[in-house]
A and B are shown apart, each in its own frame.
Chain A
Amino acid sequence: MLFSSPATITTVKTQLQLNIRSRGAMSGVLTLGSLDPAFKGATRVSGERVMLDLRSVEFVEPAGICGLAALLEFLVPRSDTVNLALSGRDVPAYLERMNFFRLFGERVATDTDVASLEERQRHNPGTLQELINFHDEEEIPGIIERISEILENKGYRLRERVGICSVLSEVCANAAEHGASSFGAYAAVQAYNHIVSGPRRRGEEVLVAIADGGVGVRETLSRNPKYAEHTITDNDALRHALGMGVSGTGELGRGGGLALVAQISGRASGSLSLRSGAGRVTAYEDRKNSRNVPDFPGTFVRVSLPRVAEADDKKPRARTR
């Protein structure tokens, strides 16, 4: 069987690996961070055939699928062809349900039989927004109307709907305004019946992810000379961008969206992660963490909104009788 597919073996010049964890809570999960080695490898690609190895992926979160879309937008124009290596049924089926093959099917090759996946019943109770590509602010109201309707049908309370929709609209608007690039931006939203981010605890969680290929937060804020001392590193710029009224144009009233997104996620005991350039900042209700990460060509936003069960404080108490 060694020579069963010599064509594939001999023509693939570059194989891009991912950094998928094999242990712990994030074992097998495709996150943005797990794509770092592939982003790094992609900068060295020049016109050859490329294989992106996703075989160790068992679970894809919105951050992973948006990151994968951004990576492919970066990689496809630099390659002869990009081949995706997938294993099992779950991940290909998930990618199909998330419209991944509809967006990328013609630009990447895969050994998975996508047609058979299409025939399966398209049913994923947690999908709030499949992977979507958008370029313009004009497209946002339609995206918000659709997700609001889905949330309403799924029994989300008004307050939760408003939180999720506000987060999505503000972050999409930022991507459309500052993230202008050839591919625009990708967004995806997924609900889970367990907590995906951070330590294991009871509850549900909604994850919102958006990736754009624009100039990044540091360059946008650098346009405003007032922020010179806040734009020395990518992390300086990301931390500053979370402040109320911080914007590249400096116009009064601008720069409120991201601060309010951080407030909404903080109040829900969730988090807002921003990644741009070599910086990554995560804001929680009471603190911000930042660390240096490999370069990301654009801006990436991930928002975690845990759902507090309405009955949480009405748990049956031990009866004294």
Chain B
Amino acid sequence: MAEDQSRRGSHRVFEIASGDFGGKLMVTRRTGRAVREVLGEALEALPQGGALFVDTRGVELMDYSFADEALGVLVSRVAGGEYGERHLVLVEEDRDLLENVEASLRQRSLAMVRVDELGSEPGLVGKVPDHLVDTLWAIYDAGSITNADLAKKLGLNHTACNNRATRLAKLGLIRRKVETAAPGGRQYSYERIA
């Protein structure tokens, strides 16, 4: 697995297909665990708010066991708050290889943001409840948006909107920021991670 030479601010890219544990054929939970440990260390090394882009484009085969152990378990730990405000993004095209990642994340009722390549429009792998999907893409369309503006855009009351966005933030799919706003209140805003 190689660290991308160009570190972009708080982002880091890892290519699964190259380096010590990597290859074109990624199989077994044992290999998945080894890759997950390296990815976990890379996540921890990021500043809060940072995102780790896991690039699997050079991989030919990821079996279910590997996908679940390397990505399924890691995404569940990110969603469980083990890595604080750090995020994971999958860099992969829409191809058969995604099936096992999808199956693992669905089993776990989790999802990952996926991009075809760095900077391209994001999609999802895994499972996000239907009623949250519109909220998610509204935040991504805006790039960054306050709770009040998002509520207005979606025709929701502020509390419902905040609840939905909070769930998306807990799933690790967006960033959620709290700002103090006059008069004496708190203003939430949300940001896309990729």
Chain A positions near chain B (C-beta within 8 angstroms): 137-138, 140-141, 144-145, 148, 158-159, 161-162, 165-166, 169-170, 173, 244-245, 252-254, 256-257, 260
The interface residues of chain B, by DSSP majority, are classed as helix
**Known contacts A140-B28, A256-B68, A260-B100; can you find 17 more A-B pairs with CB under 8 A?**
A141-B23, A144-B27, A145-B25, A148-B25, A148-B60, A161-B60, A162-B61, A162-B97, A165-B27, A166-B63, A169-B63, A170-B64, A170-B65, A173-B28, A253-B69, A253-B108, A260-B64
Interface members, chain B 95-131 (any A CB < 8 Å): 96-97, 99-100, 103-104, 107-108
Q: Is B170 located at the chain interface by the 8 A CB criterion? A: no
Q: Assuming the A-B contacts A162-B96, A256-B103, are A138 and B108 also in contact, with contact meaning beta carbons closer than 8 angstroms in the complex?
A: no
Contact between chains at A253 and B107 (CB < 8 Å)? yes
28 contacts across the A-B interface (CB closer than 8 A) = A137-B29, A141-B23, A144-B27, A144-B61, A145-B23, A145-B25, A148-B24, A148-B61, A166-B27, A166-B61, A166-B63, A166-B64, A169-B65, A170-B65, A173-B29, A244-B103, A252-B107, A253-B72, A253-B73, A253-B76, A254-B68, A256-B68, A256-B100, A256-B104, A257-B63, A257-B64, A260-B100, A260-B103
Closest CB in chain A relative to B57 CB, distance in Å: 14
Contacts of A161 in B (CB 8 A): 60-61
Contacts of A170 in B (CB 8 A): 63-65
Closest CB in chain B relative to A268 CB, distance in Å: 13
Closest CB in chain B relative to A245 CB, distance in Å: 5
Contacts of B61 in A (CB 8 A): 144, 148, 161-162, 165-166
